[in-house]
């Protein structure tokens, strides 16, 4: 069992990113991982955008990242890149904060063309932050996620793809536990 933080960079509580993360969290719980959740939109906005890391809520959020063995970073694709909101939070992390953690990017977007936004913006940014155990993650088209109904729903093919990505994430978490600790 590992501790996994799911990080949402969507500005809206009723978003496709939320539906995707709800399914992700269910999968993680099924696999008996401890799940921590963080919605960047719930953080105090001014403190977030001017990088005030002394604010208690921001310190708490940074503590969640420290505690986690793995991170799921989920963002809607805006202007062919990750949301400004998710970047604002990641900017607050100290150097090396992602080192040794398993990190999986998840993204939702309106067109298949935005698939590359993951590879051209989200992954390189996480990589530049020192994420040295970055697994492929998943991009899900907006139209495969339905917002209607309680908690929304995902198309079965999209859900299967997300489960494949999560299995890779889970396998990397498992391998992490078997690695000798480097002093």
Give the residues lining the site for another protein (CB under 8 A).
11-12, 41, 45-46, 48-51, 78-91, 120-121, 124-125, 128-129
Question: How near is the Cβ of 65 to another protein at its closest, in Å?
Answer: 14
Residue 182 Cα distances to 3, 135, 176, angstroms: 20, 21, 12
Torsion, Cα 152 139 43 12, to 10 degrees, reads -40
Q: How many residues does the chain have?
A: 183
Q: Which is nearer to another protein, 33 or 41 (CB)?
A: 41
Q: C-beta of 121: minimal distance to another protein in Å? A: 7
Q: Is 69 helix (H, G, I), strand (E, B) or coil?
A: coil
Please, what is the minimum distance in Å from the beta carbon of residue 50 to another protein?
5
- Given the complex with another protein, which of 24 and 121 has the nearer CB atom? 121
Nearer to another protein, 11 or 136 (CB): 11
Nearest-CA neighbor of 90 among 63, 60, 55, 129? 129
C-alpha to C-alpha distance for 47 and 51, rounded to whole angstroms = 6
What is d(CA 8, CA 79) in angstroms, rounded to the nearest whole number? 17
Minimum gap (Å) between residue 136 Cβ and another protein: 20
Cβ closer to another protein: 45 or 146?
A: 45
* Least distance in angstroms from the C-beta of 165 to another protein: 23
Which residue, 28 or 85, has its beta carbon nearer to another protein? Answer: 85
CA distance 172 to 155: 26
């Amino acid at each position: 069992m590992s501790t996994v933080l799911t990080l949402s960079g969507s500005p809206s509580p009723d978003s496709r990113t939320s539906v995707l993360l709800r399914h992700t969290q269910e999968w993680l719980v099924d696999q008996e991982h401890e799940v921590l959740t963080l919605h960047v939109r719930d953080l105090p906005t001014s403190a977030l955008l001017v990088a005030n890391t002394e604010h208690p809520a921001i310190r708490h959020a940074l503590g969640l990242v420290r505690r986690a063995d793995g991170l799921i970073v989920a963002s809607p694709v805006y202007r062919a890149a990750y949301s400004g909101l998710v970047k604002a939070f990641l900017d607050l992390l100290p150097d090396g904060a992602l080192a040794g953690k398993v990190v999986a990017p998840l993204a939702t977007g309106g067109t298949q063309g935005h698939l590359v936004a993951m590879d051209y913006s989200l992954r390189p940014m996480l990589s530049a932050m020192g994420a040295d155990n970055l697994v492929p993650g998943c991009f899900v088209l907006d139209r495969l996620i339905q917002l209607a109904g309680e908690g929304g729903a995902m198309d079965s093919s999209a859900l299967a793809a997300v489960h494949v990505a999560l299995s890779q994430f889970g396998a990397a978490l498992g391998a992490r536990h078997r690695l000798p600790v480097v002093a």
